[in-house]
Structure 1
Amino acid sequence: MSDLSTQKRIAAAVLKCGVNRVWLNPERLSDIEAAISRSEIRELVAEGVIKAGVVKGNSRGRARIREAKRSYGHKKGYGRRKGSAGARTPSKRQWIMKIRAIRSSLREMREDGTVDRRTYRTLYRRAAGGQFRSRAHMKSHVDMMKGRTE
């Protein structure tokens, strides 16, 4: 087999890719060896004798597996942590998550008739003021209010 490094280099320039991505048809090596100009290489590219290989990427398979495990609490122990609790989930983000949960459950309760519009509005304002720790705390408060009124 002869040295086809020049043809590979020219083909890489023609195909606008790296030398390692250039594929030469092993059955047509004599034709490739005879091609010494860019125009001849272009003709071989048009015939499909010389092609550019696919771009290789980095596999995200391992990353997906790791993310899946973290989603259900694995790989999150003390040895893995760099920042403080407040840095990992800032207090503002905690508040956003909590208030969204409370407000969505309040909306559901208003729609299914558990609370009337007036009670909904008072509970909404109390939630905004930070009276409820969680959904469960808010629901227990609603139950207590109902017990008092009925």
Structure 2
Amino acid sequence: MPIRRHLKNLYPIDWDQLSDWVRFVRAGGRCDRCKRPHGQTVSHLGDGRWWDETDQLWRDGRGRPLPHQAALTCEVVVKTTKVYLAAAHLNHDRSDSRPKNLRAFCQRCHMLHDKPEHLRQRQITYLKRRALGDLFDGRYF
């Protein structure tokens, strides 16, 4: 995912090389959490379970193999998604780019990892809007 222009100064100058190393050398082109392969279209059930084409088995959201019967127990809709890996900061600090703080996550795992931070930022945004409404006697939006 491209870095927003106003956040670019938070990343090191060699971020592209560091990100490539984390995603493709250290992680081997697979998500560190669920093992989905980068650049491939995978079939999934929408709840984390996905079909690993190379091993010919279903995996759960943590990359563990599922028994054949556990994957499809009832009528389900199988969807497809193209997987893209991103280098994620474990502590959510963009300026902390030490290798032990970086993981290669697919878009699903990255969103799950960042969910608490997104909720925190949303709460801050709501409070700022409310404060501006109180300050200027305006609407809350």
Is TM-score (shorter-chain normalized) higher than 0.5? Answer: no
Higher relative contact order by CA 8 Å / sep ≥ 6: 1 or 2?
Answer: 2
Normalising by structure 2, what TM-score? 0.26
Name the one with the larger helix percent.
Answer: 1
Output the TM-score relative to the length of structure 1.
0.25
